Amino acid sequence: MYGKGLRSLSISTIAVMTAALALVFFYAPLEAEQGFLQKIFYVHVPLAIVALCGFVAGGIMAIQHLRTRDPSWDMRSYVAIHMSLIFGVGTLITGSIWAKGSWGHWWVWDEPTLVSFLIVFLLYATYQPLRFAIEDPERQARYASVFAITAGAFVPLNFIAVRLSTAYVHPRVLGGTSNLPGPMALTFVVSLIGIALLYVTLCKYELTAKHARAQLRALRRRLTADDAATPPVRRSRSAAPTTLHPAAMMTARVTGKEGL
């Protein structure tokens, strides 16, 4: 179910990422002030934008979960936040490298954009400990959704606050691609699409893997239940548990007919 379209998505991700790298190194002109170092911009900024959008998307999926009580939305929200955290790590590391090359320091505490991103990242770093501290699965999903919505709302507010308050030291990107020369803007947009596609592809991989594991667990439960000492008539094929996932039901049907 989750694996549908994964192959074409993976191929398009590889194609766009390759195109983006080619544009970065062989098409985009060197920036006058920073020179070659500015090439980090094409990986750092898309990573940051995609990570922040992923946090917000996780919040929106959490709203869907609370509205519908469908656990698949909770799973999507969890995966979106999990992947955004990984992209957030990438943003922080590439940002530090850029800062070192550009300003001579790995981290600058009086730069509001850097510090605000770190605050958002640390906020979301508490998501998983909070989630897995709760044992009851239903409560866990509900509390995680509330957290994801609250933190998701904090992300744009934080972004706007920083924009309104700061000195213009950090390069402005969102809404500012028109300031970039044409080849640079094109390269940036292709890089952004490539990183966004990478995010979606990895999320889909994660969801597919989790779904496959859930199906396996359901199948194992069914097989071990079948193995228990139940009367032969009750162990017939019609006694399949109704709570089994449709895909697991399909697997079970194959098992019944052909013994896998």
Partner 1 sequence: MGVALADLPALPLHEAGKYVAAAYVVLFALVLIYVAIMAIRLSRIERELGELLELSENTVASAPPDRELAGQGSTPL
- Torsion-angle region of residue 69: left (phi > 0), alpha (psi -120 to 50) or beta? left
Shortest Å, Cβ 55 to partner 1: 17
User: How far is residue 49's CA from residue 248's CA, in Å, rounded to a whole number?
Assistant: 37
Near partner 1 by CB under 8 A: residue from 172, 176, 223, 241 = 223
Q: How far apart are the first and last CA of the chain?
A: 20
- Of residues 71 through 90, those in contact with partner 1 by CB under 8 A are 86, 89-90
- How many of the other CB atoms lie within 10 Å of CB of 85? 19
Which residues have C-beta within 8 Å of that of residue 202, sequence separation ≥ 6?
A: 83, 86
Both tokens of 218, joined, read 């359901």
Near partner 1 by CB under 8 A: residue from 6, 37, 63, 196 = 37
Q: Is 233 in the site for partner 1 (CB under 8 A)?
A: yes
For residue 111, report the phi and psi dihedrals to the nearest 5 degrees.
Answer: -100, 105
User: How far is residue 3's CA from residue 16's CA, in Å, rounded to a whole number?
Assistant: 20
Q: Is 162 in the site for partner 1 (CB under 8 A)?
A: no
Q: Is 243 in the site for partner 1 (CB under 8 A)?
A: no
DSSP 79-109: HHHHHHHHHHHHHHHHHHHHHHHHHS-S--T
The letter for the amino acid at 146 is V
- Of residues 190 through 209, those in contact with partner 1 by CB under 8 A are 198, 202, 205, 209
CA angle 143, 146, 148 (to 5 degrees): 110
Both tokens of 167, joined, read 């000195």
Q: Which stretch binds partner 1 (CB under 8 A): 108-116, 127-135, 157-165, 217-225?
A: 217-225
Q: Is 130 in the site for partner 1 (CB under 8 A)?
A: no
Residue with tokens 């609370």: 66
Which residues have C-beta within 8 Å of that of residue 216, sequence separation ≥ 6?
A: none
Q: Which stretch binds partner 1 (CB under 8 A): 69-77, 122-130, 173-181, 224-232?
A: 224-232
Near partner 1 by CB under 8 A: residue from 10, 12, 94, 140 = 94
Q: Is 100 in the site for partner 1 (CB under 8 A)?
A: yes
Near partner 1 by CB under 8 A: residue from 32, 35, 110, 242 = 35
Nearer to partner 1, 52 or 252 (CB): 252
For residue 96, report the phi and psi dihedrals to the nearest 5 degrees.
Answer: -65, -40
Nearer to partner 1, 63 or 202 (CB): 202
Nearer to partner 1, 130 or 250 (CB): 250
Q: Which stretch binds partner 1 (CB under 8 A): 26-34, 127-135, 143-151, 167-175?
A: 26-34
Q: What is the DSSP letter of 172?
A: P
Provide the binding-site residues for partner 1, judged by CB under 8 A. 21, 25-26, 30, 34-37, 39-40, 43-44, 47, 86, 89-90, 93-94, 97-98, 100-101, 198, 202, 205, 209, 212-213, 216, 219-220, 223-224, 226-227, 232-233, 235-240, 249, 252-253, 255-256, 259-260
